[in-house]
Amino acid sequence: MSKNNNNNNNKSVLRLKDYRVRSSDSLSKVVLLHNLKDDSGKFNPCKGGNRHTWFRRNVKSVAFMFVLTAFMFLLDSVMVSVFGSINFHGSSSTRNSDGREEDSVAHKERPTVEMYGRLLNLASSALVAEEFKQESLNFWEEPYQEASKWTPCADKRYPTSLGKPGENNGYIMVSANGGLNQQRVAICNAVAVASLLNATLVLPKFLYSNVWKDPSQFSDIYQEDYFMRMLKDDVHIVQELPLHLKSLDIEAIGSLITDADIVKEAKPIDYIRTVLPLLMKNKVVHFLGFGNRLGFDPFPPELQRLRCKCDFHALKFVPKIQEVGSLLIKRIRKFKYHAAERQLDKQLLGDFTPSISSKENYVERGSSRYLALHLRFEEDMVAYSQCDFGGGEHEKKELEAYREVHFPLLIERLKNSKPVSPAELRQLGKCPLTPEEAALVLAALGFKRGTYIYLAGSRIYGGSSRMRPFTNLYPNLVTKETLLTYNELAPFRNFSSQVFSDLDNRFTNFFGYIFVTCKKNLPWVQLAALDFIACATSDVFAMTDSGSQLSSLVSGFRTYYGDGHAPTLRPNKKRLAAIFSENSTIGWTTFEDRVRKMIEEGQRVRVRGSGRSIYRQPRCPECMCRS
């Protein structure tokens, strides 16, 4: 039996290796055995015919030993079941890029899905051939020098700046919904609306969602004092409503404004016509939700500048996020840093920005480059798209069942509309890129097999079987969960639902492996900030869906602070679908050329177009200055 226990312990340690935790059961057993020794130090419970006397004296120790032994067997069984069910992302529930948890069908290990087997073979051969060659095309750098001519200047004061209004028409409250990125946009839109309506902004609140299960508020994510100080010359901001307004029933007096009351991408005139009269009458309005309820054009230039100042300057992560974010970057880069401090790093990491002592040290150690990839292939997105991803009849039925449960409005709309085939959807560029397609794009761009890749977001639909074509080409794939330990993520634990909050610190490592089973107790909005940091500070950022809020905000941040040295790769899904449609005949050289041209065109330096998001494309006179 001892041999079996030792085997179990060895297996446990092996299973826990990637999570950097160790079981302390061996230590516990030593303590127990020590308690059962007699004065001579030998195990002799029956010595001298006093076995009954010995048993009475040690009955508590014996009972405790049996209880602990039973507990260890139970713990080992739990560990086996937990880690036996872990696939690529270690959980049976899915989360999207904002950390959202989805009730999903159990993801059992399934056969590897390959839609482009021929191209995968060609890519594998090409990567082997290129391994020891010098890179001919360098997508690690911005291809156009024009990008470096645009510099940040949204925080500068100009004679035309609006300044803080002399009159105060009332107070604006905002309760923003969504995840980290939706909340960030809502905050800066609220700042602009407060300035537009000559109102005082109450520090925005974040709605608690049963989807994200995160009670985090503004001060848990952003530095309150810094935010208010940065915008003090532009808009009045207070932490709470004054006492005489707190007692009002906002809904009863008609000052509650939901997303149903304001059109999507509303114009400033809409707020002046509908919101301002309410504000002046009741002295307070409350925007509930406030999701994407302010357009970009036409819009007063100074208010556009204020939005940029809010997003790129006023919103700084709290020190605990900066500290763990800095540790994450160190782990990704293997503790090798840039020769010079970058604006990107300083803005996101503050005082925790990694640095080196000298340039000589930098030359000696080098800089470990990495590519950050935001791979949008979560179950909700895959199901909503109605596309075919090569998983056969089982996958088709699984996604249909998911749609019926999670997207009833989509089902109703489909009943009353002309059906569009999965093939047509793919040709129109409506289908999310699979991990397989993403890997083929990177291979076509010349990224070598050893490229270090940080995967942002969360679990990929299909788990490890769907990721296998990717990891076969690019094995150096990491996430925040694989790089950070339980203790290092401890500051993000949900204070309102701590499973192990009462445990003594000495038991942390012992119970640490159970962390993967209770990750839902973590504040996922705060954890999404780590993905934001890792993507924004990467040497190259690649996205698979340009409509994603995270991808949009990260690419905007890199444009604003990148100084022309923060390339972003944006595939055109429609053009890419046309290329992949020739999978059975296209040669690898032709495939490379067409993919590279597509990406290069997406990297052209363009001034923000009318109606485009200023958070995603800040390269315009309202946000940046051209030297």
574 in the same domain as 477: yes
> Is residue 298 reached through a cis peptide bond, with omega within 30 degrees of 0 on the bond before it?
yes
Q: How far apart are CA 118 and CA 582, in angstroms?
A: 11
Q: Comparing 28 with 249, which gets the higher pLDDT?
A: 249
pLDDT at 5 over 80: no
Per-residue confidence (pLDDT) for residue 75, from 0 to 100: 55
- Percent of the chain having pLDDT more than 90? 63
Q: Comparing 368 with 20, which gets the higher pLDDT?
A: 368
pLDDT at 554 over 60: yes
Q: How far apart are CA 119 and CA 588, in angstroms?
A: 7
411 in the same domain as 305: no
Beta bridge partners of 374: 456, 543
51: helix, strand or coil: helix
Q: 435, 355 in Cβ contact below 8 A? A: no
95: helix, strand or coil: strand
Quote the tokens at residue 568: 């972003």
349: helix, strand or coil: helix
401 in the same domain as 334: no
405 in the same domain as 299: no
Give tens-digit pLDDT for 182-211. Answer: 999 999 999 999 999 999 999 999 998 766
317: helix, strand or coil: strand
Is 110 within a domain? no
Give tens-digit pLDDT for 32-59. Answer: 333 333 333 333 434 444 545 555 566 6
342 in the same domain as 309: no
Is 27 within a domain? no
The domain in which residue 492 lies consists of: 117-142+321-356+366-377+432-496+513-626
- The three-state DSSP-derived secondary structure of 203-258 is CCEECCCCCCCCCCCHHHHECHHHHHHHCCCCCCEECCCCHHHHCCCCCCCCCEEE
406 in the same domain as 348: no
Q: 287, 190 in Cβ contact below 8 A? A: yes
Is 617 within a domain? yes
- Nearest CA to 19 out of 532, 489, 507 is that of 489
Is 598 within a domain? yes
The CA-based angle 107-112-117, given to 5 degrees, is 150
**What is the secondary structure of 117-153 as a DSSP string?**
HHHHHHHHHHHHHHTTSPPSS-TTS-S-GGGGGEEE-
Is 274 within a domain? yes
Is 327 within a domain? yes
CA distances from 504 to 362, 462, 507, 511, 518 (A): 41, 38, 6, 11, 18
Give tens-digit pLDDT for 254-294. Answer: 999 999 999 999 999 999 999 999 999 999 999 999 989 99
Q: How far apart are CA 615 and CA 304, in angstroms?
A: 10
Domain count, the chain: 3
Is 50 within a domain? no
- Nearest CA to 420 out of 381, 398, 395, 387 is that of 387
491 in the same domain as 447: yes
CA distances from 24 to 9, 13, 21, 575 (A): 10, 10, 10, 55
Q: How far apart are CA 140 and CA 541, in angstroms?
A: 9
Give tens-digit pLDDT for 508-548. Answer: 333 333 333 344 456 677 889 999 999 999 999 999 998 89
Q: How far apart are CA 25 and CA 164, in angstroms?
A: 63
| Helix pair angle (59-85, 2-16), 10° resolution | 40
Give tens-digit pLDDT for 424-468. Answer: 999 999 999 999 999 999 999 999 999 999 999 767 999 999 999
611 in the same domain as 528: yes
* Pairing outcome for strands 237-238 and 256-258: unpaired
Grade residue 470 by pLDDT with cuts at 50, 70 and 90.
very high
Quote the tokens at residue 148: 């470096």
277 in the same domain as 130: no
Q: How far apart are CA 595 and CA 579, in angstroms?
A: 8
Q: Could you give phi then psi for residue 543, rounded to 5 degrees?
A: -120, 155
Is 17 within a domain? no
181 in the same domain as 250: yes
CA distances from 10 to 4, 106, 377 (A): 10, 28, 36
329 in the same domain as 220: no
Q: 403, 125 in Cβ contact below 8 A? A: no
198 DSSP 8-state letter: T
479 in the same domain as 567: yes
101 DSSP 8-state letter: E
